[in-house]
């Protein structure tokens, strides 16, 4: 029998939450002792969240951004989990192993590290900003098609000087230093969530191709990946909510 605590422990491991300051780790947002057979996943609390929970007979919720959750609308024994930063860094653009598999990246290496926010957090392990990996030969048009298939679109695609990149970076930020570091690693295509104009000069100088997928699209991909993880690891029934409609 699965309980909210078991889900919390599983996600602590899957999202590597020990790397984060205590205030950023997420976890149990609303305690419950109710056994969990059906869980709902959403980036934000859905409109009429109580109706969605009752219509699907959900035992628990997982939310990426729970801040506006109307807890009074929920049945009293429905528990809630949340993870914000660990989800973003582990299941969107960043060092994201499931996404690497979907993109065909191999021989993964880390690109960039986040620095500790303050002396009190200096003991925490470093957190990668992104990953680089070797990829099968694909043209830029083929990469755009793959991204479109995986994410349902992209915001911006800038052709680079390398016709068929042998190395690709997937990075949770875009700035001149990261573009340069990726270039020095032999990367020809840089995948990220949001295109940053501040990195344009570095993009031009290195000839880097860039596809900015859109942060929301990467979150929705991560939500589907999380659903797959929960189904595989503990066999619960998972309902995913997106854009005011369950998937």
Instruction: List, in order, residues 6 or more apart from 112 with CB less than 8 Å away.
Output: 128, 129, 130, 171, 173, 177, 178, 181
Distances (CA, A) of 11 to 4, 6, 225, 233: 11, 9, 13, 11
Is 184 marked as a binding-site residue?
Answer: no
Q: How far apart are CA 101 and CA 96, in angstroms?
A: 9
Q: Three-state DSSP class for 176?
A: helix
Token representation of residue 15: 């999202």
The CA-based angle 39-44-47, given to 5 degrees, is 90
Is 83 marked as a binding-site residue?
Answer: no
Q: How far apart are CA 55 and CA 40, in angstroms?
A: 11
Is 88 marked as a binding-site residue?
Answer: yes
Q: Do 35 and 53 contact (CB within 8 A), yes or no?
A: no
DSSP state of 116: P
Relative to beta strand 38-42, strand 245-246 is unpaired
Q: Do 209 and 10 contact (CB within 8 A), yes or no?
A: no
Q: Three-state DSSP class for 110?
A: strand
Q: Residues comprising the binding site for a divalent metal cation?
A: 88, 215, 219
Q: Residues comprising the binding site?
A: 88, 215, 219
């Amino acid at each position: 029998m699965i309980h909210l605590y078991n889900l919390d422990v599983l996600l602590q491991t899957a999202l590597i939450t020990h790397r984060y300051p205590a205030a950023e780790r997420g976890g149990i947002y609303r305690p419950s002792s109710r056994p969990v057979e059906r869980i709902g996943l959403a980036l934000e609390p859905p409109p009429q969240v109580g109706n969605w929970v009752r219509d699907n007979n959900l035992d628990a919720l997982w939310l990426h951004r729970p801040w506006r959750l109307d807890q009074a609308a929920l049945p009293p024994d429905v528990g809630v989990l949340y993870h914000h930063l660990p989800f973003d860094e582990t299941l969107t653009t960043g060092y994201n192993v499931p996404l690497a598999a979907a993109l065909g990246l191999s021989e993964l290496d880390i690109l960039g590290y986040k620095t500790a926010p303050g002396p009190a957090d200096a003991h925490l392990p470093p957190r990668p900003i992104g990953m680089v990996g070797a990829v099968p030969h694909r043209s830029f048009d083929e990469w755009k098609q793959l991204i479109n298939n995986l994410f349902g679109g992209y915001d911006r695609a800038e052709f680079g000087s390398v016709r068929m990149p042998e190395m690709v970076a997937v990075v949770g930020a875009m700035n001149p230093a990261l573009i340069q570091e990726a270039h020095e690693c032999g990367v020809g295509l840089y995948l990220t969530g949001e295109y940053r104009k501040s990195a344009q000069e570095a993009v031009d100088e290195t000839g880097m191709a860039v596809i900015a997928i859109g942060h929301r699209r990467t979150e929705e991909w991560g939500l589907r990946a999380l659903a797959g993880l929960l189904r595989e690891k503990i066999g619960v029934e998972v309902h995913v909510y997106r854009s005011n409609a369950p998937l």
